[in-house]
């Protein structure tokens, strides 16, 4: 729902929605519901680029960057968290191309062509968004399954 008038604002404030998000609504905001398997939540986008996401407890806040809400919060191991418009969690993966091993790219293209395609030209693309379901696969491929100190490839999960 795009809030364009004072009447829209009043109607939105009477909806069943995350209370902390409703309290901050203003004309120009967009609000919508998100759903997944066994969860549902709410999202907002303010005209100034701020946004919020809630799926069960308190809202998490952040800045919209393209189609992703980059949360102010991080994971316990300091990874940045991105939420897409549908409420799905993503992480940014960056590769140090100067030192990247050819076998990493060959294995990525062979075992995970959908992820490899997102990187595009390996000499110019610096990072790619991966879905939370892909994070463990990328850790294994990069040798990070036992921790970054054991990594055999120069892949950085940020």
Of 42, 57, 11, 49, the residue nearest 28 (C-alpha): 49
Residues 66 and 114 in one domain: no
Task: For residues 90-98, give the mean pLDDT.
Answer: 69
Q: pLDDT category, 47, cuts 50, 70, 90?
A: very high
- Residue-wise pLDDT tens digits, 114-152: 877 877 665 455 667 788 888 777 777 666 666 555 555
Residues 101 and 132 in one domain: yes
pTM > 0.75:
no
What is the full DSSP assignment across 78-104?
A: --EEEEETTS-EEEEEEE-TTT--HHH
**DSSP structural state of residue 150:** G
Q: pLDDT category, 76, cuts 50, 70, 90?
A: confident
| pLDDT score of 85 | 94
Compute the distance between CA of residue 126 and CA of residue 69 in angstroms, rounded to an integer: 19
Domain interval for residue 63: 6-72
Q: What is the CA radius of gyration of the chain?
A: 19
Domain boundary among 45, 72, 99: 72
For residue 41, being part of any structural domain is answered with yes
Total number of domains constituting the chain: 2
């Amino acid at each position: 729902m795009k809030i364009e008038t004072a009447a829209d604002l009043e109607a939105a404030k009477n909806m069943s929605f995350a209370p902390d998000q409703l309290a901050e609504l203003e004309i120009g905001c967009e609000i919508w519901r998100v759903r997944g398997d066994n969860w549902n939540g709410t999202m907002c986008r303010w005209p100034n680029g701020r946004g919020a996401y809630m799926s069960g407890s308190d809202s998490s806040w952040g800045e919209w960057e393209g189609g992703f809400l980059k949360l102010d919060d991080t994971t316990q191991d300091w990874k940045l968290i991105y939420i897409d418009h549908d409420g799905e969690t993503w992480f940014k993966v960056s590769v140090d191309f100067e030192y990247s091993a050819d076998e990493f790219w060959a294995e990525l293209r062979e075992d995970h062509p959908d992820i490899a395609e997102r990187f595009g030209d390996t000499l110019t693309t610096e990072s790619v968004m991966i879905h939370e379901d892909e994070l463990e696969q990328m850790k294994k491929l990069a040798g990070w399954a036992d921790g970054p100190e054991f990594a055999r490839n120069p892949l950085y999960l940020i």
